[in-house]
Amino acid sequence: MGITEVAICEAESPSEPKRVVNDMSIQVATVNGSGSQTSNLVLLRAIFQMGIPVSGKNMFPSNIAGLPTWFTIRTSRQGYIGRRKEIDLLVAMNPETVEEDVLSLEPGAAVVYDERLDAKKFRDDLIFYPVPFDKLVAPVCPDAKLRKLVRNMIYVGVVAKLIGVDMDEVEKALRKQFKKKVKAADLNFAAVKAGYEFADKSLVKQDHYWLERMNLNEGKIMIEGNAAAALGAMFAGVTVVTWYPITPSSSLCETLIDYMKRYRIDPETKKATFAIVQCEDELAAVGMVIGAGWAGARSMTATAGPGISLMAEFVGLGYYAEVPGVIFDVQRVGPSTGLPTRTAQGDVLTTGILSHGDTKHPLFFPCSPAECFTMAIEAFDLSEVLQTPVFVMSDLDLGMNIWMSDPFPYPEKPIQRGKVLTAEDLDRLGGFQRYKDVDGDGIGYRTLPGTRHPAAGYFARGSGHDERAIYSEKPDVYVNNMDRLARKWETARRLAPGPVIEEGGDGGIGIIAYGTTHWAVVETLDQLKREQGIEASYCRLRAYPFSDEVIDFIRRHERVYVVEQNRDAQLRGLLRLDIDPGLSKKLRSVRHYDGLPIDARSVTDAIVAQEVEAHRDAPEEVQA
């Protein structure tokens, strides 16, 4: 905790009253199903429109209505958009959690609360702003049935007044949220104003948190990772989409359906240049992906961990039969009931080697909506070039939360469809051998079913086939094929995007991270430097298989912290499969697995603790 205290002292100046500008976290605690998501998004968007870097994290239960839900809005003038654990302003609306919510705050935090909850009784070291929600909502919403939904808009107004959110931006954000529903927008904005006016008249500002306009969001968009991945798939030219609903991936396909209906209907014939099928389960979803990929479509599905487990057998067949297909895995916490609506990077190891036999699959690790978009496109190209299933490893935090982003770049490279032979090619070549390594890169040439040529047909099957795709159980034939697949994996290593490396310091400490963990790590790098004088290098992985640059990065550093959001250091496990045992000793691990998005403070604390340990151990090693 020492480190946190240092940070607070630095912000405080003894002579002037503390004024913290554009650097705060607001947490709204409500009941699931009470319409609070709209209120929270209005607040988030209004702050975004003020040009202040902002992020929103929804922590919601697996439930339709009734269970507690929390939404955190973080503003950061430095541009940090990872999660921050410490809450400066709590909006307490949920009687079930108010005590726990209030008790978890640091001294000096502020609480806006429904006066019926009597939040004040739990603490005397916080700033309390009681609000009579029922009294305020009744006059603006005569229809008693709607009040439950509208009353949450009141806190938007209260918070806006307290911290200085521009009401014009609130109105703009609210009208954008309600789109064409003008009456609903009017009603809700009246509630916002009621809250604002109440705060103006009846609350005395005692906290130190303020928002002021900045201009850091020029041209930026706000989008969820799932919507970004959907757009990526559409611009990648996906033609067959199969899916089975599962949190947190459902919105990827649902958004894709909307976009495809809008942009992928042939303008002349009004017919679809795509097929989207909601399947009976994930087994069928991935089976259709494999069937469609085999027959030449750009095919995809989206799922989460339980779906990945179900897809395991088919994905192995895809690897052996060498069929392209893209699978988006929006990762979440483990099996069955419990925390299916919480985030994790929990499928990395199992997906990298999914299925039985010797199987390995390329993985992409997007860290942002922009990468969900670009990597979706790259994944389709890589999958067809390599003729193998490829995974895009998103997570709940990235997929379902709304993020600030630069607008997405239009793809410059033409679509790459890999080695496909046409009837004309076959006329010229006189035939082909499906699984023969003609070019030395481990990738054979394929034909698409329906190619009208007597030599085009072949039989796709699992483990036992020769270069001509003829059934064989001969040991040397099997070994040849497996060795060729290993060569193909080396081609994948060359083609998959390499890491993004930021050199810092003198080669002492390196950090490896991937996906959404990135946002905690960039902040940790600054914290380590500011608070401990440690300059660390950073290697952000973008794909598996790992390129040689990753190995070099590990070689160059004394201690390398692999930071990830799972218990078992899954990515470190994958790294260990690839590197010398000597290098492997350099790898240390920082793991975060409580279901909430990883935060910089936890990472910094964990690294500092291990560094202290390392320095304590070092002299003994010298003595020995």
Partner 1 sequence: MATTTVPPTPLKKVNRIGLEQVDYKGNKTTLCAGCGHNAISERIIEAFYEMGVEPSRVVKLSGIGCSSKSPAYFLRSAYGFNAVHGRMPSVATGAMLANQHLIAVGVSGDGDTASIGIGQFVHLMRRNLPIIYIIEDNGVYGLTKGQFSATADVGSKLKTGVINDLPPIDTCALAILLGATYVARSFSGDKRQLLALLEGAVAHYGTAMLDVISPCVTFNDHEGSTKSYSYVKDHESPLEDVSFVPFFEDITVDYDPGTTTEITLHDGSRMLLKKLDNDYDPANKSEALRVLTEAHDKNEVVTGLFYVDTKRESFIDQLNLVDEPLATLPESRVRPPKSALDEVMESLR
| Binding to partner 1 in span 380-439, by CB under 8 A | 407-408, 410-411, 414-415
Q: Draw the binding track, 218-257, toward partner 1 (x: CB under 8 A; -: no contact).
A: -xxxxx-------x--xxxxxxx-x---------------
| Total binding residues toward partner 1, as defined by CB under 8 A | 73
Question: Shortest approach of partner 1 to residue 112 CB, angstroms?
Answer: 29
Q: How far apart are CA 604 and CA 84, in angstroms?
A: 12
Does 296 participate in binding partner 1 (rule CB under 8 A)? Answer: yes
Options 100-108, 201-209, 260-268, 500-508: segment touching partner 1 (CB under 8 A): 260-268
Closest to partner 1 by CB, 321 or 587: 321
Options 58-66, 445-453, 477-485, 524-532: segment touching partner 1 (CB under 8 A): 445-453
Name the amino acid, one letter, at 313.
Answer: E
Q: Are 239 and 102 in contact (CB under 8 A)?
A: no
Options 103-111, 132-140, 309-317, 343-351: segment touching partner 1 (CB under 8 A): 309-317
| Binding residues among 313-352 for partner 1 as defined by CB under 8 A | 313-314, 317, 321
Q: Are 6 and 133 in contact (CB under 8 A)?
A: no
**96-101: long-range contacts at Cβ-Cβ below 8 A with a sequence spacing of 24 or more?**
96/31, 96/68, 97/29, 97/68, 98/29, 98/122, 101/27, 101/29
Residues 6+ apart with CB under 8 A from 114: 92, 93, 131, 133
Question: Shortest approach of partner 1 to residue 423 CB, angstroms?
Answer: 9
Instruction: Report which secondary-structure segment, H or E, holds 282.
Output: helix 282-294
Q: Are 38 and 56 in contact (CB under 8 A)?
A: no
Q: How far apart are CA 338 and CA 112, in angstroms?
A: 30
The token pair that represents 343 in the structure block:
């985030």
Question: Shortest approach of partner 1 to residue 233 CB, angstroms?
Answer: 11
| Binding residues among 450-509 for partner 1 as defined by CB under 8 A | 450-462, 471
Among 264, 468, 487, 556, binds partner 1 (CB under 8 A): 264
Residues 6+ apart with CB under 8 A from 426: 432, 447, 451, 453, 455, 456
Options 283-291, 483-491, 516-524, 582-590: segment touching partner 1 (CB under 8 A): 283-291
Which of 260, 297, 304 minimizes the C-alpha distance to 282? 304
Closest to partner 1 by CB, 251 or 570: 251
Question: Shortest approach of partner 1 to residue 186 CB, angstroms?
Answer: 22
Options 50-58, 68-76, 261-269, 384-392: segment touching partner 1 (CB under 8 A): 261-269
Options 290-298, 327-335, 585-593, 609-617: segment touching partner 1 (CB under 8 A): 290-298
Q: How far apart are CA 184 and CA 33, in angstroms?
A: 17
Question: Shortest approach of partner 1 to residue 52 CB, angstroms?
Answer: 15
Q: How far apart are CA 595 and CA 597, in angstroms?
A: 7
Question: Shortest approach of partner 1 to residue 195 CB, angstroms?
Answer: 26
Question: Shortest approach of partner 1 to residue 380 CB, angstroms?
Answer: 10
Q: How far is CA 223 from CA 48, 375, 377, 398, 431, in A?
A: 12, 16, 17, 10, 49
Closest to partner 1 by CB, 199 or 238: 238
Closest to partner 1 by CB, 15 or 269: 269
Question: Shortest approach of partner 1 to residue 412 CB, angstroms?
Answer: 10
Closest to partner 1 by CB, 317 or 554: 317
Q: How far is CA 543 from CA 246, 254, 290, 394, in A?
A: 24, 26, 22, 12
Tell me the CB-side half-sphere exposure of residue 86, using CA atoms within 13 A: 16
Among 79, 132, 245, 291, binds partner 1 (CB under 8 A): 291
Does 71 participate in binding partner 1 (rule CB under 8 A)? Answer: no
| Binding residues among 132-191 for partner 1 as defined by CB under 8 A | none
Residues 6+ apart with CB under 8 A from 258: none
Among 288, 386, 492, 608, binds partner 1 (CB under 8 A): 288
Which of 79, 32, 92 minimizes the C-alpha distance to 58? 32
Question: Shortest approach of partner 1 to residue 158 CB, angstroms?
Answer: 27
Q: How far apart are CA 572 and CA 567, in angstroms?
A: 11
Question: Shortest approach of partner 1 to residue 576 CB, angstroms?
Answer: 30
Q: Which residues make beta-bridge pairs with 402?
A: 224
Closest to partner 1 by CB, 317 or 492: 317
Residues 6+ apart with CB under 8 A from 403: 55, 81, 222, 223, 224, 225, 368, 369
Q: How far apart are CA 271 and CA 265, in angstroms?
A: 5
Does 73 participate in binding partner 1 (rule CB under 8 A)? Answer: no
Question: Shortest approach of partner 1 to residue 223 CB, angstroms?
Answer: 5
Closest to partner 1 by CB, 128 or 403: 403
Size of the chain in residues: 624
Closest to partner 1 by CB, 134 or 258: 258
For the CA atoms of 162, 166, 167, 173, the dihedral, rounded to the nearest 10 degrees, stands at -120
Closest to partner 1 by CB, 235 or 365: 235
Closest to partner 1 by CB, 338 or 407: 407
Closest to partner 1 by CB, 26 or 231: 231
